[in-house]
Amino acid sequence: MEVPVTKIVGILAASIAPVIVISGVGLLLLSMTNRYSRVIDRARELTRDLDAAGEEARRNILLQELLITYRRARILRLAIILSSVSILFVVVAVLSLFAAQVLGAVDYVSLPSFGLCLIALLGSLYFFIRDVSISLHALELEISLYTKSTPGGGAGNSTVTSGSAAASRPA
């Protein structure tokens, strides 16, 4: 059975948008996996620091940071899984489009698959943004080790006594 060229052009035209989504989600996935590996490395570093810490206040801060880092790793893992599921649904949509064009059948799968792809992508982006906001809290804990409140009190009245070490450590 030979497929006419016009049918192949139709298949390719229908597949362009989903394939572009694969490319975009792939880049997002690359960014997420890089962040995930940094978070895992930071958790290992915090564990070593926690073992070596002698001062109780320092141990408490490190433990809080470790718990935040663990939470971030779980959130990023979920974002990565949802991005991968998004790509899976795009592939199902493209295969469904291809099968419908070649077989001349009605396609009931591609549109719901593409919709599920977008929903998974939305969830992935939500968790990615949550990770970004949580990482700031871990940085604030690290900075609190090197700050002291001035007589006026309050968050706006703290001064950094040794900020270079806090700024160089990833959250």
Degrees, nearest 5: CA angle 89-76-57: 170
* Residue 40 CA from chain centroid, whole number: 13
* CA–CA dist 123, 66 (Å, integer): 25
pTM for this structure? 0.75
Query: 36-66 pLDDT, tens per residue?
Result: 999 999 999 999 999 888 888 888 888 999 9
- Give 138-149 pLDDT, tens digit per residue: 888 878 877 854
Buried b (16+ CB within 10 A) or exposed e, 8-42: eeebeebbeebeebbeebeebbeebeebbebbbeb
Q: Which residues contact 29 (CB under 8 A, 6 or more apart)?
A: 80, 83, 84, 87
